[in-house]
């Protein structure tokens, strides 16, 4: 393995930063009732007209290197008949997050702030996001309406040789850059290198740079921008150790308050040096670049760590320390102690104390009102802090307990009635809150009395709980995730708040450990890639009360109801039938449509058609119905509001009412053709959109069947557009624009169309309006056109749809915009063109799923296997009018007449799909592959059949792709809803099995991989898998409260045996309690039905004993000479630094007896010196890492006897075994490579890494016959070493040599070695050599909640992909201006490091190749001397080889 690829498979989910701001709309857009000149963009949704809920900004979240922007959608009471999750509150029945954009950046986001204009409610300006990255990079991003994405408005970098002086000779810094912004948006501040403050000066409105505020700029609205920057060196102001800083409210110029420590202290010096922190307030004059100190405050405690700016009218800052909260302003100060450890600076006067005790270290806070702050503590409690004030004088601080919730990592208020709890340790929550007595009262109204909140809010008090919700990870009356709210009872100065959880984002991080085991419904006969679907990843995720067991399954494995063998199936369809259909479309009809059962299942075989009834039993009725059964069917569906069924076969169609035929059509020759051509033209593809049916004939022509709903008949119609056209059509489809209102009309420039959106415009024959119908056609030359049906006016056209551009814009708009930066049409000279001429669109589909604000998706499958996915959006281009006026009179009038009815404002944005497997489409006779479903297990999306079938599910307007590997290729798919199969589906495998299934219900699909989270109410630490009995032993710790004397009595030094003196403790102090962690091993068994797993047995640990490792080991019993599989546990006693460390090794046997009561039985325990931090079985022996040494033991059946030992330097973190080789990771001293020799019974050191490295995890990487050693470290790097004693650099083999190094950007906690799958797309004639078969990849999990893999590559593929990667660094526009090359460089902060070889390719960058337009793909492939198909073949092989789980 000289070369490897790094590939992310599940991106980070642990949210670290969150903020809110007006990115996609301005305050004015959301408060204006209606702007007649502009049809409101889809994003500026009509906010509820409720006086309590004002405009709602966007939510921006970041997790490691992932940045996401959401928009909050509210459901008003009248819109939703049933109250959504959380009941009714303030006239809102529900709120949900909808994704606007999602980016994976080439750097981890250290901190984030929103630069707001701070204007009035009528402000049209928008906010920008400021992101800071290590060491000192700052990017300012704004939302661009025209591209529906974020663009960088400015980039600021303070790294490199020019800025070396800023570091002042230091290498490592306590934290990355920190960003804060002035509340009125005049400037921002970034603290870099701990002591340099960068002031970002914003462009002020009215300086002429942005133009007039009222006229929209070219990209929609103008956003806040940065004009210039300058540096303040804080050392010159005698500010040394900065802890936090913030801009305060209420000053004419921006005022920056800095919390800093004058001289450092530590826990051992507290009695002598305690109040060491102080505040300094600087007035920032950005024009003069002056910053005088205007006030300061001293004597703050040494553990003060956070500042919170109090909103106007009060002003000032809150200082939060572990034991107290202080308020300071220029004129006054006050304090509140929150526990007994708080002391005032001189110790004389008593501080006011809160009514309960709490520790506030690592708290996060946000403002719910201008005098109420909400604090989230480290235990997940929410506290409300009220500032009791009179004018601008704060009299005192009040703190009350509110509710308990998730452990937060950041918290932000969204508008005036929602807040978001971002969590790295649990699921993040969106919560709605209301305050005060009257339900309509806005939050900022001044103090209400508490008495009468009960009367108004009975509906919010009802505890609502739905079992289906994956969120239920908390229990207990006061937990916030319970859907209800209890008002806080407190003294009369306290406002009362009620909360309701509205939405949540799943998080599986931090992944501390995981195990790889079989699923419950695994198929033992599966082979090849389908076998991967038998496995699942069982992960320890979360912490404390958010601790959970996450079961990850990358591929969906449906729950089968029945299966039948049925070879030769070409297609399957289910149709509805109800005879008494009423004509009027009322709401009840739409509601019942969801629950109507299917009536018939039509199965098309090669030479005949079968018809089955889908009643209680599937019975064949082929003989007794009038369906066409003598040949295969092309398509079937419902017409006329499900009153009729239409069945289309190669030469004709039948309309059926139930089982009786009412009309038959034959597609004979057109009248213009001669009789000789009759037998050649047949139907090749069909699209049905009630009441139209679109037929694509085998000669590339089109026919339209138009239904007349008065008498339920159909007539053939050839659209005049296509009659004389010579252009051959490669794919076409109909799109029915249904929903609460027709969406595409918003994109039209017709005034009556766009304003009359709400009215139902009756169709010509008087049928109630049921959505507009459009026809999308793709031609052989790659053009895509959208026609209005039935008039067939062209309303949208794009040339070169097949090239997969990032944005699709109507070609007429393009002409009028006269884009100058368009590339010349033929970038690739004719001579070197690849065979791209024959790429065509083989299938096209467009659909808009239900949802108030949903927008249509457009999908195209090309013949080379590319899947193009586009999401529609509306953008109002202002330039049209100006350009049209400036053209000549004659010219403009013709242009106007053409473009009057066009969808000029319609645009499409290409969406990346996380799916690399491509399959070539046969040119002729391809079966349709896209099946759209509206409700399968209450999910919506589409299923794509073929060689690599996959589910595409739509959540929050984003597509989630979940492959289905378990049955191999799938030929046909359809939905089925009947008595026995509730919202299920049917599919036919290419082996000829028809399966009726349902989606597994316990999983959450709104995640990168389907996941089932099971709460443990404790912290999981390590998990292992016992394959024989399918059990998972798991270490869990949970807090227990113990009396202090019980804990002190256990702190006895075992060797000297003397008791610790209690003389200095009074008797009442001994009665106090103290919280410690208790550990236990739980043996869990997966539940057959897919529910929550059962705990089969528990092994408790002793008092103050921590279980550190649990492993299933196979030991050779030397007396019976048999192998035994045992559960081995390594523990350590944690009793403080006065007691010598010791630990125990425990061996248990699992499930030897049939009696379930004694599933586990202890067979051996032994106490050793030092903590037992790692265990492994080595050729029947047990290898134990005990304190600073490792000892190899043999097992006699009754006891362990040591046979060999080795002394590593400090503390063993991980042990890995292959054959007789041992890889050992030390906590600070990198890795050691040992071997075990049976005959001399000795452990000998082969080689070690001479550098010092803080190891996180290690593993062997096997590629054919090559063995490499992989280590991940504390600086988020991965290194691959090899052992080469013959090479001179290795100092006769003592030193391990570096083979590759890479910066992953996350802490890797566990590697798992899995055998790679043979890539089936390997050249068919070449037999894979032995080096191809014995090839292993490493799957890894990280603390951010991401999962990825490192896979070996052969040299040829590596060289090709590496040169492609170097090209892509420049060819792709990177979000936020970040450089992928610098991100992936090995980071050794403060340590000497010789750079190793760059032998790992980054698939995170390579996946951008697929998103480039076809012309650029060909160009880049040509520049690196290869072909596009060759690159895709390499990426495909890698993707197939690592399609685990």
Say which residue, 1091 or 627, is predicted with more confidence.
627
Radius of gyration of the CA atoms of the chain, in A: 34
Considering only CA atoms, which of 71, 66, 126, 20 is closest in space to residue 412?
A: 20
Tokens of 782: 């790659």
C-alpha torsion 1428→1429→1434→1437, nearest 10: 150
Please state the rounded mean pLDDT for residues 1099-1127: 94
- pLDDT tens-digit series, residues 129-144: 999 998 899 999 999 9
Tokens of 1137: 């630094």
pLDDT band, residue 41 (cuts 50/70/90): very low
Considering only CA atoms, which of 1214, 1103, 1097, 1105 is closest in space to residue 1157?
A: 1097
Instruction: Tell if the pTM clears 0.85, that is, is over it.
Output: yes
With a cut of 50, say whether residue 586 has pLDDT above it.
no
Q: What angle do CA 667, 671, 672 make, to 5 degrees?
A: 125
- For 386, residues 6+ apart whose C-beta sits below 8 A from its C-beta are 371, 372, 397, 398, 399, 400, 493, 494, 495
Tell me the HSE value of 326 on the side-chain side, using a 13 A CA sphere: 28
- What's the burial of 262, exposed, middle or buried (CB within 10 Å: 0-12/13-18/19+)? middle
Confidence at residue 883, expressed as pLDDT on a 0 to 100 scale: 41
Confidence at residue 680, expressed as pLDDT on a 0 to 100 scale: 67
Please state the rounded mean pLDDT for residues 498-516: 93
Per the CB < 8 A criterion, the answer to whether 407 and 378 are in contact is: yes
With a cut of 80, say whether residue 1357 has pLDDT above it.
yes
Handedness of CA 649, 652, 655, 660 (dihedral sign): negative
Tokens of 1010: 């389907």
- The conformational region for residue 185 under phi > 0 = left, psi -120 to 50 = alpha, else beta, is left
> What's the rounded Cα separation, in Å, for the pair 316 and 294?
13
**Across all residues in the chain, what is the average pLDDT?**
82
- pLDDT tens-digit series, residues 353-403: 999 999 999 999 999 998 999 999 999 999 999 999 888 788 999 999 988
pLDDT band, residue 407 (cuts 50/70/90): very high
Please state the rounded mean pLDDT for residues 628-646: 89
Considering only CA atoms, which of 19, 32, 31, 27 is closest in space to residue 69?
A: 19
With a cut of 70, say whether residue 1070 has pLDDT above it.
no
Antiparallel, parallel or unpaired: β 1073-1085 and 1094-1100: antiparallel
- pLDDT tens-digit series, residues 1117-1165: 999 999 999 999 999 998 888 888 899 999 999 877 666 677 899 999 9
Contacts 24+ apart (CB under 8 A), 826-832: 827/1415, 827/1416, 827/1419, 828/1415, 828/1418, 828/1419, 828/1422, 832/1422
Considering only CA atoms, which of 101, 111, 15 is closest in space to residue 421?
A: 15
- The conformational region for residue 1416 under phi > 0 = left, psi -120 to 50 = alpha, else beta, is alpha
With a cut of 50, say whether residue 1327 has pLDDT above it.
no
- For 162, residues 6+ apart whose C-beta sits below 8 A from its C-beta are none
- pLDDT tens-digit series, residues 1246-1264: 999 999 999 999 999 999 8
Contacts 24+ apart (CB under 8 A), 727-730: 727/779, 727/780, 727/781, 727/783, 728/700, 728/779, 728/780, 729/696, 729/700, 729/701, 729/702, 729/777, 729/778, 729/779, 729/780, 730/700, 730/778, 730/779, 730/780, 730/840, 730/841, 730/842
Report which DSSP code applies to 528: G
Please state the rounded mean pLDDT for residues 852-856: 88
Confidence at residue 1098, expressed as pLDDT on a 0 to 100 scale: 94
Q: Where are the beta strands (DSSP E) in 783-827?
A: 784-788, 793-798, 807-809
Per the CB < 8 A criterion, the answer to whether 313 and 250 are in contact is: yes
What share of residues in the chain are helix, strand, coil (percent, to 5)?
A: 10, 45, 45
Per the CB < 8 A criterion, the answer to whether 704 and 815 are in contact is: no
With a cut of 80, say whether residue 46 has pLDDT above it.
no
Say which residue, 333 or 749, is predicted with more confidence.
333
Q: In what order do the strands lie in the sheet with 930-936?
A: 930-936, 939-944, 950-955, 958-963
Report residue 516: phi and psi, to 5°. -115, 110
> What's the rounded Cα separation, in Å, for the pair 1350 and 1304?
10
Lowest mean pLDDT among 293-307, 432-446, 601-615, 863-877: 432-446
pLDDT band, residue 1065 (cuts 50/70/90): low
Handedness of CA 825, 828, 829, 833 (dihedral sign): negative
Per the CB < 8 A criterion, the answer to whether 1320 and 965 are in contact is: no
- pLDDT tens-digit series, residues 186-205: 999 999 998 899 999 998 76
Tokens of 1160: 């586990």
Q: How many CB atoms lie within 10 A of CB 823?
A: 10
Considering only CA atoms, which of 614, 644, 648, 645 is closest in space to residue 628?
A: 648
Say which residue, 1168 or 724, is predicted with more confidence.
1168
pLDDT band, residue 1167 (cuts 50/70/90): very high
Per the CB < 8 A criterion, the answer to whether 1396 and 1298 are in contact is: yes
Report which DSSP code applies to 580: -
pLDDT band, residue 525 (cuts 50/70/90): confident
Lowest mean pLDDT among 2-16, 411-425, 614-628, 1049-1063: 1049-1063
- pLDDT tens-digit series, residues 1274-1316: 999 999 999 999 999 999 899 999 999 999 999 999 999 999 9
pLDDT band, residue 1059 (cuts 50/70/90): low
Please state the rounded mean pLDDT for residues 208-237: 68
pLDDT band, residue 975 (cuts 50/70/90): very high
Please state the rounded mean pLDDT for residues 739-753: 70
Confidence at residue 422, expressed as pLDDT on a 0 to 100 scale: 95
Confidence at residue 1092, expressed as pLDDT on a 0 to 100 scale: 86
Q: Which helix (H) or strand (E) holds 455?
A: helix 453-456
With a cut of 90, say whether residue 1224 has pLDDT above it.
yes
Please state the rounded mean pLDDT for residues 878-896: 41
Q: How far is CA 36 from CA 30, 636, 751, in A?
A: 14, 44, 10
Q: How far is CA 1104 from the centre of its chain?
A: 38
Q: Which helix (H) or strand (E) holds 402?
A: strand 393-404
> What's the rounded Cα separation, in Å, for the pair 912 and 1406?
13
pLDDT band, residue 33 (cuts 50/70/90): very low
pLDDT band, residue 936 (cuts 50/70/90): very high
Confidence at residue 922, expressed as pLDDT on a 0 to 100 scale: 63
With a cut of 90, say whether residue 284 has pLDDT above it.
yes
> What's the rounded Cα separation, in Å, for the pair 385 and 364?
12
With a cut of 80, say whether residue 1377 has pLDDT above it.
yes
Considering only CA atoms, which of 1066, 1019, 1071 is closest in space to residue 1042?
A: 1071
Confidence at residue 925, expressed as pLDDT on a 0 to 100 scale: 55
Considering only CA atoms, which of 813, 1049, 1005, 841 is closest in space to residue 908?
A: 813
């Amino acid at each position: 393995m000289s070369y490897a690829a790094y590939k992310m498979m599940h991106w980070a989910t642990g949210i670290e930063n969150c903020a809110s701001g007006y990115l996609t709309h301005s305050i004015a857009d959301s408060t204006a009732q209606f702007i007649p000149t502009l049809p409101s963009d889809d994003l500026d949704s009509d906010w509820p007209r409720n006086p309590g809920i004002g405009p709602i900004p966007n939510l921006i979240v970041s997790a490691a290197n992932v940045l996401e922007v959401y928009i909050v959608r509210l459901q008003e009471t009248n819109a939703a008949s049933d109250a959504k999750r959380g009941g009714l509150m303030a006239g809102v029945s529900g709120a949900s997050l909808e994704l606007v954009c999602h980016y994976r950046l080439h750097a981890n986001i250290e901190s984030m702030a929103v630069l707001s204009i701070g204007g009035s409610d009528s402000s049209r300006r928008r906010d920008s996001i400021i992101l800071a990255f290590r060491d000192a990079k700052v990017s300012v991003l704004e939302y661009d309406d025209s591209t529906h994405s974020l663009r960088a408005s400015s980039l600021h970098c303070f790294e490199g040789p020019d800025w070396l002086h800023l570091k002042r000779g230091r290498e490592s810094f306590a934290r990355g850059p920190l960003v804060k912004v002035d509340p009125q948006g005049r400037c921002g501040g970034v603290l870099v290198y701990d002591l340099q403050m960068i002031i970002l000066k914003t462009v002020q409105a009215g300086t002429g740079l942005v133009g007039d505020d009222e006229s929209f700029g070219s990209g929609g609205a103008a956003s806040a921008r940065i004009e210039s920057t300058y540096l303040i060196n804080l050392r010159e102001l005698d500010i040394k150790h900065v802890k936090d800083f913030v801009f305060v409210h209420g000053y004419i110029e921006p005022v920056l308050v800095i919390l800093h420590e004058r001289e450092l202290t530590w826990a051992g010096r507290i009695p002598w040096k305690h109040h060491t922190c102080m505040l300094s307030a600087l007035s920032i004059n950005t024009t003069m670049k002056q910053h005088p100190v205007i006030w300061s405050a001293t004597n703050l405690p040494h553990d003060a760590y956070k500042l919170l700016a109090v909103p106007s009218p009060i002003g000032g800052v809150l200082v939060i320390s572990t034991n107290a909260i202080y308020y300071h302003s220029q004129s006054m100060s006050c304090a509140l102690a929150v526990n007994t450890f708080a002391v005032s600076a001189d110790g004389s006067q008593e501080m006011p104390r809160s009514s309960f005790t709490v520790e506030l270290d690592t708290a996060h806070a946000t403002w719910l009102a201008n005098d109420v702050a909400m604090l989230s503590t480290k235990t997940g409690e929410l506290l409300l802090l009220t500032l009791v004030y009179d004018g601008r004088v704060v009299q005192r601080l009040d703190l009350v307990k509110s509710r308990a919730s998730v452990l937060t990592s950041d918290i932000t208020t969204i508008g005036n009635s929602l807040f978001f709890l971002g969590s790295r340790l649990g699921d993040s929550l969106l919560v709605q809150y209301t305050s005060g007595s009257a339900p309509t009262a806005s939050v900022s109204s001044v103090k209400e009395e508490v008495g009468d909140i009960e009367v108004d809010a009975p509906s919010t008090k009802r505890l609502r709980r739905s079992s289906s919700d994956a969120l239920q990870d908390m229990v207990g009356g006061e937990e916030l995730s319970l859907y209800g709210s209890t008002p806080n009872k407190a003294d009369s100065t306290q406002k009362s708040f009620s909360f309701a959880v509205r939405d949540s984002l799943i998080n599986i991080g931090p992944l501390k450990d995981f195990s790889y085991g079989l699923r419950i419904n695994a198929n033992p006969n599966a082979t090849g890639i389908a076998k991967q679907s038998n496995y699942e990843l069982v992960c320890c995720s979360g912490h404390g009360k958010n601790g959970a067991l996450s079961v990850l399954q990358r591929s969906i494995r449906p729950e089968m109801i029945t299966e039948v063998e049925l070879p030769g199936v070409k297609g399957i369809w289910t149709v509805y039938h109800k005879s008494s259909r009423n004509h009027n479309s009322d709401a009840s009809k739409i509601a019942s449509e969801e629950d109507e059962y299917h009536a018939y299942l039509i199965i098309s075989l090669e030479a005949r058609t079968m018809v089955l009834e889908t009643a209680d039993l599937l019975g064949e009725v082929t003989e007794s119905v009038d369906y066409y059964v003598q040949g295969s069917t092309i398509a079937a569906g419902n017409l006329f509001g499900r009153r009729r069924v239409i069945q289309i076969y190669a030469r004709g169609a039948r309309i059926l009412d139930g089982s009786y035929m009412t009309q038959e059509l034959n597609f004979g020759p057109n009248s213009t053709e001669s009789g000789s051509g009759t037998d050649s033209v047949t139907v090749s593809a069909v699209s049905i959109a009630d009441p139209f049916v679109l037929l694509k004939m085998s000669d590339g022509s089109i026919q339209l069947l138009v239904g007349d709903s008065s008498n339920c008949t159909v007539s053939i119609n050839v659209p005049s557009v296509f009659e004389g056209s010579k252009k051959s059509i490669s794919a076409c489809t109909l799109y029915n624009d249904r929903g609460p209102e027709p969406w595409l009309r918003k994109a039209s420039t017709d005034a009556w169309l766009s304003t009359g959106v709400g009215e139902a415009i009756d169709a010509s024959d008087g049928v109630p309006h049921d959505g507009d119908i459009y026809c999308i056609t793709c031609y052989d030359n790659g053009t895509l056109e959208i026609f209005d049906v039935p008039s067939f006016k062209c309303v949208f056209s794009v040339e070169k749809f097949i090239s997969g551009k990032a944005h699709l814009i109507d070609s007429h708009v393009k002409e009028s915009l006269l884009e100058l930066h368009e590339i010349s049409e033929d970038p690739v000279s004719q001579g070197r063109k690849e065979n791209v001429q024959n790429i065509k669109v083989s299938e096209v589909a467009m659909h808009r799923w239900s949802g108030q604000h949903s927008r249509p998706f457009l999908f195209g499958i090309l013949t080379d296997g590319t899947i193009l996915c586009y999401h529609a959006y509306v953008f109002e281009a202002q330039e049209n009018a100006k350009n049209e006026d400036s053209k000549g009179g004659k010219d403009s009038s013709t242009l106007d007449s053409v473009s009057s009815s066009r969808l000029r404002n319609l645009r499409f944005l290409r969406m990346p799909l996380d799916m690399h497997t491509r399959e070539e489409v046969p040119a002729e006779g391809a079966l349709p592959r896209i099946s759209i479903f509206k409700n399968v297990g209450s999910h919506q999306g589409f299923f794509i059949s073929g060689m690599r079938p996959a589910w595409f599910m739509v959540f929050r307007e984003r597509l989630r792709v979940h492959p289905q590997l378990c049955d191999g290729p799938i030929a046909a798919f359809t939905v089925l809803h009947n008595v026995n199969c509730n919202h299920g589906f049917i599919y036919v495998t290419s082996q000829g099995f028809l399966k009726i299934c349902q989606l597994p219900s316990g999983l959450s699909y709104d995640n990168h991989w389907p996941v089932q989270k099971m709460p443990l109410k404790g912290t999981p630490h390590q998990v292992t898998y016992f394959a024989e009995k399918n059990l998972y032993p798991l270490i869990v710790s949970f807090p227990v409260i113990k009396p202090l004397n019980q804990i002190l009595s256990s702190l006895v030094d075992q060797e000297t045996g003397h008791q610790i003196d209690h003389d200095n403790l009074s008797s009442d102090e001994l009665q106090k309690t103290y919280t410690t962690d208790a550990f236990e091993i739980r043996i869990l068994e997966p539940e057959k039905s897919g529910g929550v797993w059962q705990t089969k047995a528990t092994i408790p640990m002793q008092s103050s004993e921590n279980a550190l490792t649990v492993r299933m080991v196979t030991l050779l019993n030397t007396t019976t000479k048999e192998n035994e599989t045992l559960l081995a546990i390594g523990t350590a006693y944690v009793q403080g630094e006065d007691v010598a460390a010791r630990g125990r090794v425990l061996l248990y046997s699992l499930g030897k007896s049939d009696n379930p009561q004694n599933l586990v039985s202890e067979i051996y325990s032994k106490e050793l010196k030092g903590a037992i931090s790692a265990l492994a079985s080595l050729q029947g022996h047990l290898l134990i890492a005990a304190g600073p040494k490792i000892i190899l033991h043999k097992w006699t059946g009754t006891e362990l006897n040591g046979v060999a030992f080795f002394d590593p330097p400090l503390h063993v973190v991980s042990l890995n075994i292959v054959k007789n080789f041992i890889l050992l990771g030390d906590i600070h001293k990198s890795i050691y490579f040992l071997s075990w020799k049976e005959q001399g019974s000795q452990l000998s050191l082969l080689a070690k890494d001479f550098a010092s490295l803080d190891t996180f995890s290690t593993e062997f990487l096997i590629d054919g016959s090559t063995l490499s050693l992989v280590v991940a470290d504390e600086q988020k790097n991965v290194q691959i070493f090899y052992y080469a004693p013959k090479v001179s650099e290795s100092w006769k083999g003592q030193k391990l040599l570096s083979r590759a190094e890479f910066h992953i950007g996350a802490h890797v906690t566990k590697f798992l070695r899995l055998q790679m799958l043979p890539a089936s797309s390997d050249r068919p004639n070449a037999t894979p050599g032995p080096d191809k078969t014995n090839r292993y990849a490493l799957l890894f999990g990280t603390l951010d909640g991401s999962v990825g893999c490192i896979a070996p590559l052969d040299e040829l593929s590596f060289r090709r992909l590496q040169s492609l990667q170097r090209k892509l660094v420049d060819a792709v526009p990177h979000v936020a201006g970040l450089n992928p090359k610098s991100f992936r460089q090995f980071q050794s902060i403060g340590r000497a490091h010789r750079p190793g070889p760059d032998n790992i390719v980054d698939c995170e960058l390579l996946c951008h190749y697929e998103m480039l337009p076809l012309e650029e793909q060909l160009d880049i492939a040509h520049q690196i001397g290869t072909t596009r198909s060759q690159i895709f073949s390499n990426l495909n092989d890698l993707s197939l080889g690592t399609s685990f789980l």
